[in-house]
Amino acid sequence: MMNEHRRNRRPSRVPSPGTLRRGTRDAYLDNAATTPVDARVAKAMLPYMTEVYANPSSLHSLGQKSGMAVRQARETIAEILHAHADEIVFTSGGTESDNLAIVGVVQTATPRIRAEFGADAKPHVVTTAIEHHAILEPLLHLQKTGDIELTVVAPQKNGVVKAADVLSAVNERTVLVSVMHANNEIGTIQPIEEIGKGILKIRKNSISRSAQSQSAAHPTSDFRLPTMFPLFHSDACQAAGYLDLNVEKSHVDLMTLNGGKIYGPKGIGMLFVRRGVKLAPQVLGGGQERGVRSGTENVPGIVGFALALELAQQFKDKESKRLTLLRDRLIDGLLRIPKSRLNGDADKRLPNNVNVSFLDIEGEAAMLYLDAKGVYCSTGSACASTALEPSHVIRALGLSYEAAHGSLRFSLGRHTSKADVDKVVKLLPGIVERLRKISPVNLDMSYFD
Amino acid sequence: MPKSQASDVVGKSASNQGGFYSDTVKEHFFHPKNFMEDEAGYEADGTGMVGSPACGDVMRVWIKVDPKTERILECKWKTFGCASAIAATSMMSVMVSENGGMTLDAARELKPQQIMERLGGLPARKIHCSVLGDKALRAAINDYYRKTGQTEKIEIEQGRIVDKVLKITDHDIEEAVLEGADTLEKVQAKTKVGTGDPACIPEVEQLIRFYKEKYCEMQKEDGSQ
């Protein structure tokens, strides 16, 4: 028995990494989906699985060692964000952080909105049409169940939301404004600081208004303290490798980050929760994370995430410069293909994002031809989604379904070289030409208007 | 909205283990058979086209027919669509023209399920991509009958059964959309589609979009939107 067990050491259902290893000349251009884990991060995590494995809540010395690692990680992250350590709430990832921010605020705010505006009053939330599904789905669900009123602000044609459009959607019942820092599909960078400042101003005016009307309504209120609404949330998962995450500058009250986009582990994320913001917890249990998010801390994940964020922020300027050159080289190369278009603004754009539409072909077909040549990218085509709908982001740009079906996203990363970019520029014209030969469709450029 | 699992493979066979697409699908996708290379220089006996680029699938079929035996001598095609759509049209062209060619009567009976089986199965949410090829073929056959003056043989599409349990056809879905049902829930409220045969739901969702696009575009032309 023992011998047999040894011979079959690897559990049969886990694929051997050897069969998954990609070829050395392959180009992984799907870093916005997820990144490989940095070797330094993996190395830092390992002892917290095999040696310092105790529960941070345990009072014995091994437990305290785990607890110390979590505390250190929290402090590292707080320093990067210009925040306090007690403002960091660890979660299982970006999706959970977004859900916690939304549902947590709405549930806390509902009684206050009812007290002020009547029993039938609903909290109002403002978001944008290009948010990640982790924002849009919970909001649409809350709207469907009648728990909130929702305003979805459309971006401009370049995929950038106007701060004024977001701010003018705010009304006296608005409890939350959620705008992503940078878009995951088209890489457009949103005016977070401008929106953050605008929201502070709205709060300030609302205080002086209520002070005038009912003298002692908010006697000690300070608009900088998020003791009143609207609160400002931003999903910064895609921004973390390239942009400044200083919460004092952006004036966010809540901010989502995760490990899987910044060369850290998957299954770990965090929500920045500004002091004074009260969130209704969504996971109840042992009261970890100051009661906001119960569950034993993912110690190796937390250690890995903190180091990954530190490295990503340390090298963000250098890496941004390097990737911007590669990005523009790829964009220039791809736009030489006839009937093509860059989706999203050329300048207000993450250094690692390229998103191009081609008429008359379907994105999944092009993606699979590239895959066969060792180039990994993604598409906004309906056929590639489980919902059978083409990308909501591309359509929010005002583009036709036709243009959305033919979109490809290349997201560069730390391991992307000039050779990778040149490989795509060399391969894709032939693939597009071949698919157009097979296609009975011959649309004109007006489909890009 | 119920979302199907990518791993649900319909018409599964031994060749479709592990990967998203079977080896046969990949072969026909990467090396399509019989696709139309020179449209201008081709004299077809019949041609048909279905789908819309807004919906993500368009298929055009050209056939050459032996007038004596009424067997399909050649079947050429062009497809705008994903890997399953391209592979399904390619496989269909092989099936109707191999072994001396199918008779028009037999070709008219060709079902998407038969194409899918020969492909070694398709992921459940990709089935809708394979159902347009045979429609384009039937349109081409009708065109042949029209051109040869055999108008009595032209068969108007009776509607294709989508929900096998409730025998609901694509025409029923079209009717529901025309009556204003623009979501799966609303179409289900009218037709109960998918309640007995949940496997058809991804296809129903695709059909709803297809008809929505079709009639939305008409509205746009009217200037009402």
- pLDDT exceeds 60 at position A266: yes
For residue A14, what pLDDT is reported? Answer: 60
Can you give the CATH number for the domain in which A303 is found? Answer: 3.40.640.10
Q: What is the 3-state secondary structure (H, E, C) of A345-413?
A: CCCCECCCEEEEEECCCCHHHHHHHHHHCCEECEECCHHHCCCCCCCHHHHHCCCCHHHHHCEEEEECC
pLDDT range class, residue A225, cuts 50, 70, 90: low
Together in a domain, A142 and A260: yes
For residue B165, what pLDDT is reported? Answer: 72
Nearest chain A CA: its distance from B175 CA (Å): 21
A449 lies in some domain:
no
- pLDDT exceeds 60 at position A10: no
Q: In which domain, by residue range, is A150 found?
A: 49-313
CA distance A391 to A404: 6
For residue B174, what pLDDT is reported? Answer: 80
The answer to whether residue A405 neighbours chain B at the CB level (below 8 Å) is yes
For residue A35, what pLDDT is reported? Answer: 97
Q: Structure tokens of B61?
A: 């079929």
Together in a domain, A204 and A352: no
The residue among A13, A358, A359, A364 with the most chain B CBs within 10 A of its CB, best to mutate, is A364
Sheet arrangement for strand B46-52: B46-52, B57-66, B71-80
A3 lies in some domain:
no
The total number of structural domains in chain A stands at 2
The most confident of A1-10, B12-21, B40-49, by mean pLDDT: B40-49
Together in a domain, A284 and A338: no
From the list B62, B59, B65, the residue with the least C-alpha distance to B36 is: B62
- pLDDT exceeds 50 at position B167: yes
A177 lies in some domain:
yes
From the list A359, A409, A425, the residue with the least C-alpha distance to A186 is: A409
Together in a domain, A325 and A268: no
Active site residue B129: yes
Over residues B76-91, the mean pLDDT reads 93
pTM, two decimal places: 0.85
A25 lies in some domain:
no
pLDDT range class, residue B224, cuts 50, 70, 90: very low
For residue A211, what pLDDT is reported? Answer: 63
Q: Which CATH topology does B159-225 take?
A: Arc Repressor Mutant, subunit A (1.10.10)
Measured between beta carbons, the chain A residues lying within 8 angstroms of B29 are: 365, 368
pLDDT range class, residue A20, cuts 50, 70, 90: very low
From the list A221, A238, A194, the residue with the least C-alpha distance to A344 is: A238
Residue ranges covered by each domain of chain B = 11-157, 159-225
Together in a domain, A377 and A415: yes
Comparing alpha-carbon positions, the chain A residue that sits nearest to B50 is: A440
A405 lies in some domain:
yes
Out of A362, A402, A443, whose CB is closest to B81? A362
For residue B152, what pLDDT is reported? Answer: 84
Whether A147 contacts A190, CB under 8 Å: no
- pLDDT exceeds 90 at position A34: yes
CA distance A309 to A299: 15
DSSP string across B4-39:
--TT-EET--TT-SSSSS-HHHHHHHHS-SSB-S-S
- pLDDT exceeds 60 at position A380: yes
What residues of chain B have any CB closer than 8 angstroms to a CB in chain A?
A: 1, 3-4, 6, 29-30, 32, 35, 37, 49, 53-56, 58-60, 78-86, 125-126, 128-129, 202, 205-206, 209, 213
A387 lies in some domain:
yes
From the list A151, A162, A157, A163, the residue with the least C-alpha distance to A186 is: A157
Least confident of A157-161, A215-219, A309-313: A215-219
Provide the mean pLDDT of chain A: 91
Together in a domain, A281 and A350: no
The most confident of A12-26, A393-407, B14-28, by mean pLDDT: A393-407
A264 lies in some domain:
yes
Q: Does domain B11-157 have CATH number 3.90.1010.10?
A: yes
Beta-strand pair A124-128/A174-178: parallel
CA torsion A71-A103-A149-A224 (nearest 10°) is -20
Can you give the CATH number for the domain in which A356 is found? Answer: 3.90.1150.10
For residue B107, what pLDDT is reported? Answer: 95
From the list A200, A241, A248, the residue with the least C-alpha distance to A222 is: A200
Together in a domain, A322 and A424: yes
A144 lies in some domain:
yes
pLDDT range class, residue A411, cuts 50, 70, 90: very high
Whether B9 contacts B104, CB under 8 Å: no
- pLDDT exceeds 60 at position A216: no
Together in a domain, A218 and A360: no
Least confident of A121-130, B9-18, B124-133: B9-18
Contact B53 A382 (CB under 8 A): no
Contact A369 B30 (CB under 8 A): yes
For residue A317, what pLDDT is reported? Answer: 97
Out of A287, A313, A339, pick the residue that ends a domain.
Answer: A313
Over residues B212-224, the mean pLDDT reads 50
Q: In 3-state terms, what secondary structure has residue A270? A: strand
The residue among A389, A400, A441 with the most chain B CBs within 10 A of its CB, best to mutate, is A441
CA distance A284 to A291: 8
Q: Which residue has the higher pLDDT, A78 or A19?
A: A78
Whether B207 contacts B175, CB under 8 Å: no
Q: What is the pLDDT of residues B188-204, one digit of tens each?
A: 877 778 877 788 888 88
